[in-house]
Amino acid sequence: MRTDDDNWDITTSVGQTALFVAASRALEARKPDPLAVDEYAEVFCRAAGGDWTVAVEGSDPEHPLQTEFGEHFVNFQGARTKYFDEYFRRAIDAGVKQVVLLAAGLDSRAYRLPWADGTVVYELDQPRVLAFKRDTMDELGVSPTAERREIAIDLREDWPQALRSNGFDPARPSAWIAEGLLIYLPAAAQERLFAGIDALAAPGSFVGVEEAVPMPADAFDAKRAEAHASGDENAFFNLVYNQQHAPANQWFGARGWNAVATPLHEYLTRVGRPVPGQDSEAGLMTGTITLVAATKR
């Protein structure tokens, strides 16, 4: 169960969710018609080893990513990666040169997107998560395609101050992402996160957010009890808060941003991937998700 000051490495608690989405991106990249190719996702999973290697090799038919749920989850991650890759390409085209990956996890965009010269990518996450990523990339001998600055911090702490101390300039436009993050934060921390972004974002800035509407409390409590009884501390429902401070398009829309919200199901259809049945295990999750992109006027 979560506590206010919990911490983790890449294979425990919220840390291993970064490997789970990386494994999904690796499986998407192996398809003949991938929505997005993250060539480093598989590398991270192999570096973690054990079940994570099995996950990307697809060699265990019982693995959660090989089930019907898993098939939809991989499509979801492929779509999400494509959506935010294109979002960042728009920011690059607009000349933005400060990029902030909130909860960077194993997001490899600092190593694979065509950043303009002089771009700085700030990666914020817990210290041991960032260390795993750095060690893996160093071992592989891969260099980032921008200047990459790690900020090892918990996002429930004073991360705006840490960002400024590392050279972030609030007077220049920036592009932000909160992908696969909000569900792991209580509503009050989500509010501070949005407020922190807004306070540091100059006109012309971009923000990209993945968000989920909370499940009904009784359904969530049942899932949480199931997760608890399973004895698996890393079970998804032991890690999430099931809270939402405010829909991002409304919150940013009310503060001088032009925001567009795209329900994940709409986006899946747009990119030619099936939408899971609404009462299926996958559909109950993906149906709650919205992808949001906004620019500050």
Of 64-72, 98-106, 193-201, 246-254, the window that binds ligand SAM (rule: CB under 6 A) is 98-106
Shortest Cβ 278–ligand SAM spacing (Å): 23
Strands 257-263 and 147-152 turn out to be unpaired
> Binding marks (x or -) toward ligand SAM, 8..27, rule CB under 6 A?
------xx-xx--x------
106 binds ligand SAM (CB under 6 A): yes
Between 56 and 104, name the residue whose CB sits nearer to ligand SAM. 104
Closer to ligand SAM by CB, 40 or 115: give it.
40
**Binding-site size, ligand SAM (CB under 6 A):** 20
Span near ligand SAM by CB under 6 A; candidates 52-60, 103-111, 143-151, 270-278:
103-111
Our finding on whether 190 is near ligand SAM (CB under 6 A) is no
CB nearer to ligand SAM: give 152 or 202: 152
Interaction of residue 28 with ligand SAM, rule CB under 6 A: no
Q: Which of 57, 184, 236, 263 binds ligand SAM (CB under 6 A)?
A: 184
Q: Does residue 144 contact residue 112 with C-beta atoms inside 8 Å? A: no
Considering only the stretches 102-110, 164-172, 211-219, 252-260, report the one whose residues sit in contact with ligand SAM under the rule CB under 6 A: 102-110
Nearer to ligand SAM, 17 or 119 (CB): 17
Check binding of 2 to ligand SAM (CB under 6 A): no
29, 55, 79, 129: residue in contact with ligand SAM (rule CB under 6 A): 129
Of residues 107 and 276, the one with the C-beta less far from ligand SAM: 107
Residue nearest to ligand SAM (CB): 105
User: 168 Cβ partners below 8 Å, 6+ apart?
Assistant: 98, 100, 120, 122, 174, 200
297 CB neighbour count, 10 Å cutoff: 10
Contact status: 92 vs ligand SAM (CB under 6 A): no
- Site residues, ligand SAM (CB under 6 A): 14-15, 17-18, 21, 103-107, 125-126, 129, 154-156, 179-181, 184
